[in-house]
């Protein structure tokens, strides 16, 4: 009897434990799912989208990013909740915008479009930015500052209005309450205190003639002595004060966001004693994100504030393949609790000499923005800006080329040559014509790609390729820059077909990693690149076979982003210097 009771008690306890365990698991999964519904994950725009600038129009938010030597340039994303962003167009989307003084035809690597600002005023969108163009060895690099406009955010956008006599990079435009339009620029001061010192300047801008007018005011050289590269300025007017936000420290590990304030747009500007207001320079290199900076502020319709800023995921010794990406950070405004500070600016200070006036202005108890208020650093997750609007990240891309226009995700390195490609939407394929150029600095070749969005991915491309001439290559590419890429191609040479993998590392010559004859090639091949377990695994399959053969493994450190842009995956066709009318056809490209 006792044994029966013991056995019964044990069975009851075990059943009870199982039931409670199941309940706990369900509760844990529910809480985890619910927490995901209440938070968003950075970066909010993944892939090579650096130097973000943001504006709000009603319930709609728009972000524009730097695009450097890529075309189309100035990608524009739209959101209604700040966490789900859709690529809707480009500011530079026609060859005529990019083949004159504003040149993206033969621009150098890491040149091109730097740090735009997007603003909206009286029904018109404005994008102001710089094209950094080096004419050639021994010639001075040109900073072509220009503005494009549109009544419709999706375009078409105007031809570039070049602002003559505007030195430096990263300009901004501000529309003041009295109707004055101001150009906010950067330059290297004529008498710098140290190498790399920058200075923010301000001048009135006439939008009828697109020209600078009146006196030029020199506002600020940055918050820190030896705080190099004061750049990326934005001016905001809040509660009667002008806040000047800049990037400082260079777009690397010392990158930071600094702020100063004035009661007059022309200055003097008083730095925040708590600068920098956002950075990762003080954190370990093992922190999940580094090089944080280049911020732009936006106020939501309900009065909350956010900042967008760039950051690099620390995946391989502070580097990643995606490079600089767009992050979203909550912001609050706070006053310092110092009762001995002035509560407001005294009008009598206007008559004081500049130095005395500045010292008075320093002691005003201003409100300052506090970025990421709880921790002071960019977090991977934050509460959603709008509850009930969960973030839905979907990086899957599939193009079967059944539309007449190329998908917005596709980019070229520089303006493509005429006749580079055409789309047969009826039969669903892209025909990519061979160029006599290979991937090379300042050259446009038959290479087009989409951004890598995450470290782990699968990329597929199905190709038909039957050239008549020897020495023609066609296939896929994973590319960072003109001096950092891999190509995996079918090569037709002396009557035979070969699979060929070329790796080009920075400062090294292109290297044929592997070249293998393919005897059973029937004109059709599917390429596959898989990134996982710290490796790029290169596969192929011939014809319509579903099973893939591993061709080679490449270490992830070979193709990290060490420039201004990140990795792309795409398709490629070259005649290797020969004049030829060959082509490859792609009927499916997929990324997930």
| Residue-level pLDDT at 37 | 81
How confident is the model over 187-196, as pLDDT tens digits?
999 999 999 9
- Closest C-alpha among 150, 145, 149, 119 to residue 54: 119
For the chain, helix (H) and strand (E) counts, in that order, are 2, 39
Of 51, 172, 263, 399, catalytic: 51
Dist CA 565 CA 70 (whole Å): 9
Burial class of residue 541 (count of CB atoms within 10 Å of its CB; 0-12, 13-18, 19+): middle
How confident is the model over 404-419, as pLDDT tens digits?
999 999 999 999 999 9
231 is catalytic: yes
* Cis peptide bond prior to 276, omega within 30° of 0: yes
- DSSP H or E run through 423: strand 421-424
Please, which residues have CB within 8 angstroms of residue 400's CB and are 6 or more apart in sequence? 428, 587, 588
pTM exceeding 0.95: no
Section 476-505 average pLDDT: 97
CA distances from 332 to 272, 367, 536 (A): 15, 10, 42
CA distances from 221 to 72, 143, 172, 183, 293 (A): 34, 19, 16, 17, 17
Provide the H-helix boundaries in 333-403: 354-362
| Residue-level pLDDT at 21 | 53
Section 422-448 average pLDDT: 97
- Closest C-alpha among 247, 305, 306 to residue 279: 247
| Residue-level pLDDT at 33 | 45
| Residue-level pLDDT at 18 | 60
How do strand 73-79 and strand 86-92 relate by DSSP bridges? Answer: antiparallel
Structure tokens at 194: 């140290």
How confident is the model over 281-308, as pLDDT tens digits?
999 999 999 999 999 999 999 999 999 9
How confident is the model over 81-109, as pLDDT tens digits?
999 999 999 999 999 999 999 999 999 99
Of 81, 197, 199, 231, catalytic: 231
Q: Residues 428, 402: contact at Cβ < 8 Å?
A: yes
How confident is the model over 529-562, as pLDDT tens digits?
999 999 999 999 999 999 999 999 999 899 999 9
Dist CA 113 CA 65 (whole Å): 9
Dist CA 455 CA 384 (whole Å): 24
């Amino acid at each position: 009897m006792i044994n029966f009771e013991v056995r019964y008690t044990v069975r009851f306890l075990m059943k009870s434990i199982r039931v409670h365990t199941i309940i706990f698991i369900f509760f844990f999964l529910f809480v985890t799912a619910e927490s995901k519904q209440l938070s968003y994950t950075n970066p909010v725009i993944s892939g090579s989208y650096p130097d973000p600038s943001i504006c709000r129009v009603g319930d709609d938010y728009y972000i524009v990013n730097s695009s450097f030597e890529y075309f189309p340039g100035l990608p524009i994303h739209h959101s209604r909740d700040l966490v789900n962003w859709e690529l809707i167009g480009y500011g530079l989307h026609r060859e005529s915008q990019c083949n004159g003084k504003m040149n993206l035809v033969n621009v150098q690597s890491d040149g091109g479009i730097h740090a735009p600002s997007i603003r909206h005023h009286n029904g018109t969108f404005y994008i102001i930015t710089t094209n950094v163009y080096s004419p050639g060895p021994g010639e001075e690099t040109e900073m072509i500052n220009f503005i494009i406009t549109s009544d419709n955010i999706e375009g078409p956008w105007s031809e570039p209005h070049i602002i003559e006599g505007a030195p430096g990079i990263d300009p901004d435009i501000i529309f003041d309450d009295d109707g004055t339009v101001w150009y906010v620029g950067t330059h290297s001061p004529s008498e710098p205190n140290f190498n790399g010192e920058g200075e923010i300047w301000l001048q009135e801008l006439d939008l009828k003639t697109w020209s600078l007018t009146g006196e030029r005011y020199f506002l600020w050289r940055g918050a820190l002595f030896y705080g190099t590269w004061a750049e990326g300025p934005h001016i905001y007017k809040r509660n009667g004060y002008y806040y000047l936000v800049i990037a400082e420290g260079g777009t690397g590990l010392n990158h930071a966001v600094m702020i100063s304030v004035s009661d007059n747009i022309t200055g003097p500007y008083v730095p925040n004693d708590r600068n920098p207001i956002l950075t990762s320079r003080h954190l370990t290199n093992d922190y999940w994100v580094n090089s944080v900076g280049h911020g732009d502020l936006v106020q939501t319709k309900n009065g909350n504030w956010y900042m967008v800023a760039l950051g690099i995921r620390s995946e391989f010794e502070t580097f990643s393949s995606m490079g600089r990406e767009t992050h979203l950070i909550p912001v609050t405004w706070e006053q310092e609790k110092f009762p001995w500070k002035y509560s407001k600016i005294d009008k009598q200070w206007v008559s004081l000499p500049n130095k005395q006036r500045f010292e008075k202005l320093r002691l005003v108890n201003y409100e300052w923005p506090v970025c990421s208020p709880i921790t002071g650093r960019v977090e991977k997750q934050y509460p959603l800006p709008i509850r009930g609007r969960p973030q839905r990240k979907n990086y899957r891309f599939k193009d079967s080329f059944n539309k007449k226009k190329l998908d917005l995700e596709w980019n070229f390195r520089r303006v493509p040559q005429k006749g580079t490609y055409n789309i047969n939407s009826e039969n669903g394929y892209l025909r990519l014509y061979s160029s006599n150029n290979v991937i090379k600095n300042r050259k446009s070749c038959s290479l087009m790609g989409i951004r890598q969005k995450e470290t782990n991915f699968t990329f597929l491309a199905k190709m038909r390729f039957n050239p008549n001439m020897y020495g023609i290559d066609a296939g896929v590419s994973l590319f960072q820059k003109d001096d950092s890429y891999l190509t995996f191609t079918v090569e037709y040479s002396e009557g035979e077909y070969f699979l060929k993998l070329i790796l080009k590392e920075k400062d090294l010559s292109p290297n044929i990693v592997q070249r293998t004859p393919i005897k059973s090639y029937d004109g059709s091949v599917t390429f596959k690149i898989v990134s996982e377990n710290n490796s790029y695994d290169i596969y192929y399959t011939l014809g319509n076979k579903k099973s893939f053969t591993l061709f080679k493994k490449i270490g992830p450190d070979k193709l990290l982003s060490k420039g201004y842009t990140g990795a792309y995956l795409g398709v490629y066709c070259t005649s290797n210097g020969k004049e030829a009318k060959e082509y490859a056809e792609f009927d499916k490209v997929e990324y997930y």
